């Protein structure tokens, strides 16, 4: 099991779906990534929260074996807060509130104990902050995985391109891949993005699964057909956490292991959407995870 470093927001979310509505609950990309990765490795998280962030929320991560020494607490500031509302088919959402608060001037300082990390997952934050994390590592890690979003492609493209040159795997959705590459076809988009730095490109297609491109090969992972999606929040982050955590557990970065990691990430994400917020991934058993992976095997295997 290799050491894993995660950077990402630890925050408050308030989520509204056609059926449910939460108060301010624990959220943030870093939280979902850590929880998902925690089933495979003991990740270290770099993040920042305000004085208003409940100690119990940090303890939630600690109980899952997450190292939280790198979580800065700014007593006189407020925690990042996001609120969003999903529509009928959960395919569209509207952001109701984004309060950057402590994230506005987040400087991710790595404790010394984090610096020998071999697997790094850079959650969706500004490309400058993501780069700042890599730059503090004295040695090149085995694998750096990055998530990003449309906002940074639009507003910080040059910074993003600089950061992309330093990473190995990008996790991105279909529209973002087209946007970043200027290519409509996904094989073409992936190849274009590979020229920007990452050797591996993972394109998430929501309810249509995910694609992994690398080493001139492609892997197509299905999505499970869930009876009901309760809350899609954090599904992408959970995917990234499960993916990175599994590779760290296996301490491998070859294409075959990455294929398995994509399935594990997909399996973890399929849990996340079955309950509001982080609820469904706070307390899974290894048996539940194995059974879910088996479902992926069942729906894709054929003998011909």
Where on the chain is the footprint of its own copies (CB under 8 A)?
A: 88-89, 184-188, 205, 208-209, 211, 217-223, 225, 227-228, 256, 259-260, 262-264, 293, 297-304
The answer to whether the Cα torsion of 178, 183, 187, 192 is positive or negative is negative
Q: Shortest Cβ distance from residue 55 to its own copies (Å)?
A: 37
- Of 116 and 254, nearer to its own copies (C-beta) is 254
**Rounded to an integer, what distance in angstroms lies between the CA atom of residue 278 and that of residue 256?**
29
**Rounded to an integer, what distance in angstroms lies between the CA atom of residue 234 and that of residue 64?**
17
Q: Shortest Cβ distance from residue 194 to its own copies (Å)?
A: 14
Q: Shortest Cβ distance from residue 300 to its own copies (Å)?
A: 5
Q: Shortest Cβ distance from residue 158 to its own copies (Å)?
A: 28
Phi-psi region of 155 (alpha: psi -120 to 50; beta: other; left: phi over 0): alpha
Q: Shortest Cβ distance from residue 291 to its own copies (Å)?
A: 13
- Of 127 and 245, nearer to its own copies (C-beta) is 245
Q: Shortest Cβ distance from residue 199 to its own copies (Å)?
A: 18
**Rounded to an integer, what distance in angstroms lies between the CA atom of residue 262 and that of residue 257?**
9
Bridge-based pairing state of the strands 81-86 and 25-27:
unpaired
- Of 34 and 263, nearer to its own copies (C-beta) is 263
- Of 197 and 222, nearer to its own copies (C-beta) is 222
Q: How many Cβ atoms are within 10 Å of 46's Cβ, its own excluded?
A: 30
- Which residue in this structure is represented by tokens 């609950």? 25
Where is 275: in which H helix or E strand? none
Where is 173: in which H helix or E strand? strand 169-173
Q: Shortest Cβ distance from residue 235 to its own copies (Å)?
A: 16
Q: How many Cβ atoms are within 10 Å of 269's Cβ, its own excluded?
A: 27
- Of 95 and 303, nearer to its own copies (C-beta) is 303
The CA-atom distances, in angstroms, between 267 and each of 134, 207, 222 are 28, 12, 10
- Of 25 and 293, nearer to its own copies (C-beta) is 293
* Rg value, the chain, Cα: 18
List the 93-99 sheet strands across, edge first: 25-27, 11-16, 81-86, 93-99
Q: Shortest Cβ distance from residue 22 to its own copies (Å)?
A: 23
- Of 285 and 302, nearer to its own copies (C-beta) is 302
Bridge-based pairing state of the strands 93-99 and 11-16:
unpaired
Q: Residue 34 corresponds to which tokens in the numbers above?
A: 């850590």
- Of 51 and 185, nearer to its own copies (C-beta) is 185
Q: Residue 100 corresponds to which tokens in the numbers above?
A: 């950057």
């Amino acid at each position: 099991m290799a050491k894993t470093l995660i950077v990402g927001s630890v925050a408050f979310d308030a989520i509204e779906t056609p059926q449910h509505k939460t108060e301010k609950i624990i959220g943030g990309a870093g939280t979902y990534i850590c929880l998902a990765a925690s089933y495979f490795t003991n990740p270290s998280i770099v993040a920042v929260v305000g004085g208003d962030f409940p100690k119990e929320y940090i303890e939630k991560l600690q109980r899952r074996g997450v190292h939280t020494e790198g979580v800065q607490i700014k007593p006189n500031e407020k925690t990042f807060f996001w609120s969003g509302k999903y529509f009928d088919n959960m395919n569209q959402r509207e952001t109701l509130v984004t309060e950057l608060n402590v994230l506005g001037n987040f400087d991710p300082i790595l404790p010394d104990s984090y610096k020998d990390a071999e697997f790094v997952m850079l959650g969706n934050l500004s490309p400058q902050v993501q780069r700042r994390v890599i730059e503090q590592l004295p040695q090149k890690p085995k694998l750096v995985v990055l998530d990003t979003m449309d906002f940074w492609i639009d507003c910080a493209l040059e910074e993003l391109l600089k950061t992309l040159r330093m990473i190995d795997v990008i996790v991105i959705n279909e529209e973002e891949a087209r946007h970043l590459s200027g290519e409509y076809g996904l094989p073409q988009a992936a190849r274009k993005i590979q020229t920007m730095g990452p050797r591996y490109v993972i394109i998430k297609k929501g309810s249509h699964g995910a694609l992994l491109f690398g080493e001139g090969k492609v892997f197509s992972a299905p999505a499970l057909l869930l009876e009901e999606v309760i809350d899609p929040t954090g599904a992408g982050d959970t995917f990234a956490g499960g993916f990175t955590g599994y590779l760290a557990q296996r301490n491998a970065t070859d294409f075959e292991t990455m294929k398995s990691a994509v399935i594990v990430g997909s399996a973890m994400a399929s849990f996340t959407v079955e309950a509001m917020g982080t609820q469904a991934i706070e307390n899974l058993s290894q048996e539940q995870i194995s059974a879910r992976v088996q479902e992926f095997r069942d729906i894709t295997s054929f003998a011909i």
